[in-house]
Structures are given as structure tokens and as C-alpha cells.
Amino acid sequence: MATKKQSKRPLVGIVMGSDSDHPIMAEAAKVLEDFGVPHEVLVASAHRSPARTQKYVRQAGKRGIQVLIAGAGGAAHLAGVIAAETISPVIGVPIDSSALKGLDSLLSTAQMPGGIPVATMAIGKAGAKNAGLLAVQILAIRNSALSKKLQQFKKDQASAVEKKSRKVEKQHGKITSS
Ligand code: RP5
């Protein structure tokens, strides 16, 4: 069922409700690639292919998947349906694919009843990127190499802000406290 072939056993499963979600969910896959985390990517819909979704999630844990990322738009039940079938952490990404621009997906993904947690990210690409990062952070709890990579990522991100600030300061004059 997995669509992405990798040499190592995948640790993260990225599921999306439709191939139209792929340009957004590719952001999560990119983060995992950057951190060298083996993962798989597939389309399975909570509404259009419920049996496929259930089958995938039930087998995922047995195959070594430790974290699941689910992206869906509209009446977005995918993350919740996946969370109902697993004890692994589930990260939900609301996709802005409907007339309501993702507010519907955000609420459908976040407003889970007590007992079935879904870690819900921001709407769209930022949410997908953060889903990838959160998956890395979860795996890093027991993986010191990943932990070091995350620390370096934070440092690089902070340096990038300083670099951008220097450009802006050049135009407007350097502030004394930076
Ligand atoms: C949702 O419906 C999918 O996750 C997607 O965001 C949205 C639209 O799907 P398509 O009609 O583009 O396949 O289930």
C-alpha cells in the first residue's frame, strides 16, 4: 500500500485524503527527508475509502510505523479516524482545499472528543512542515542523533533570522540592542 520505496523500514506514515492534498503534504515529507527519517506516503480517504484507511492503520504499527501524519480538507475526519485505530501519536494537518479555506478542516481535525487525541497543526503548508518537525521531535526522544540534528536546525533557523535582519537594518539603520 505504501507509495514511497525506501531502503530502511519507514518510521512515519504520511496519509492524505486526496492526491490534491499532495502539494501541501509534500512539505511534511521534505522535512523527514532532510532529517533522514524513513517514511512512506499514501492516499487513503476517511470517507471515500474507509476500508483502505482502516487496513493501512491497523497494519502500520506491526510494520514499525511509530508516528502517523494525516492531512485532509473539508469535513476532515482522516486524522480522527486514524487516531481511533492506533495507539501511536497522530498529527493532523488541516488542508485549505474547500470553500471555507481550511477553517472547516481545522475544526474537524482539532475538535476531537476526549480519549482520542490528534495533535493538530496550522492550516496548510506551515502545518505540514510542522507536522514533519513534530514527528522528528517525537522520534528524537529515543534517538540522540536526531536530537542533535534538531538542535542544529534551531541554530540554523535563528542564524537565518539574524541574516535577514541585517539586510533590513541596512535599509533602515541598525538598532542598538541587536
Ligand atoms: C478531502 O477532500 C481531501 O483531503 C481533499 O482535501 C478534499 C478534496 O478532495 P478532491 O475532491 O480534490 O479529491 O477529503
In tens, the pLDDT along 51-103 reads 999 999 999 999 999 999 999 999 999 999 999 999 999 999 999 999 999 99
Q: CA torsion sign, 71 to 72 to 78 to 80? A: positive
Instruction: Please state the domain extents for the chain.
Output: 12-142, 150-178
* Residues linked to residue 106 through DSSP beta bridges, in sequence order: none
Ligand 1 mutation pick, 16, 18, 78, 108, max ligand atoms within 8 A of CB: 18
> What class is the 12-142 domain?
alpha beta
Q: Is 152 in the pocket of ligand 1 (CB under 6 A)?
A: no
Q: State pLDDT tens for residues 126-178.
A: 999 999 999 999 999 999 999 999 999 999 999 999 999 999 999 998 776 65
Report d(CA 66, CA 177) in Å as an integer.
44
pTM beyond cutoff 0.85? yes
Q: Using the atom order of ligand 1, give the atom closest to the CA of residue 72.
A: 4
